[in-house]
Amino acid sequence: MTNDELYVSVDVETSGPIPGEYSLLSIGACLVAEPKTSIYLELQPDSTIHDPEAVAVSGLDLEKLKREGLAPQEAMRTLEQWLESSCPRGQKAVFVGLNAPFDWSFVNYYFHKYLGSNPFGYTAIDMKAYFMGASGCSWRETKSSHISAKLKPRSAPNHNALDDASFQAELFTLMLANRDER
């Protein structure tokens, strides 16, 4: 990491496979170097379309989210404000995710739809691709269970967006440490 970059681990839970048709239900984010600096948001669904399996995996209740979740615009503004307050002046927040193409696509879509721009910009670090390049493993060996077996993190994923973001932060820290040891 350079001094002008701030790695932010982000995980989401959704109601299905693609933004625009399915809803972003929860967002968890934390600073990779300081996972206790974190945010967790639950959103009101912005679509009635959902995949029952996707919703079951998250354990989130769509009816409860309709009543108690944040309106999507409010959630994205809250996330943007958290990023601004957590990111020292002169640093760029860099989105880090385990399967970042999926998580980033929802976050990017929601930022653009509800606020007009994405503070992360147009890129993200995909931990699976990073691990594949750093370790020389095959793509099928980039499952979180395989990466965990190699790097031995103390935490484990559980499909809560904040818990998973914290797990990812730990994994990415271990990946960076292994890189430095080479």
Predicted local distance difference test score (pLDDT) of residue 2: 57
pTM of the full predicted structure?
Answer: 0.95
Identify the active-site residue in 50, 112, 146, 159: 159
Greater model confidence, 89 or 41? 41
Scan for tokens 């793509």, then name that residue. 139
Greater model confidence, 161 or 88? 161
Within 10 Å of residue 145's Cβ, how many Cβ atoms?
Answer: 9
**How would you class 182 by CB atoms within 10 Å of its CB: exposed for 0-12, middle for 13-18, buried for 19 or more?**
exposed
User: What CATH number does the domain located at 5-181 have?
Assistant: 3.30.420.10
pLDDT in tens, 129-167: 999 999 999 999 999 999 999 999 899 899 999 999 999
159 is catalytic: yes
Cα-Cα end-to-end distance for the chain:
16
Element holding 13 (H helix, E strand): strand 5-14
- Starting at the edge strand that comes first in sequence, how are the strands of the sheet with 24-31 ordered? 38-42, 24-31, 5-14, 92-97, 125-126
**pLDDT-derived band of residue 181, with 50, 70 and 90 as boundaries?**
low
Predicted local distance difference test score (pLDDT) of residue 178: 83
CB 58 within 8 A of CB 13: yes
- Alpha carbon distances (Å) from 59 to 5, 97, 132, 147: 34, 21, 30, 25
pLDDT in tens, 38-68: 999 999 999 999 999 999 999 999 999 999 9
> b/e for 75-95, b at 16 or more Cβ within 10 A?
bbeebbebbeebbeeeeebbb
pLDDT in tens, 103-124: 999 999 999 999 999 999 999 9
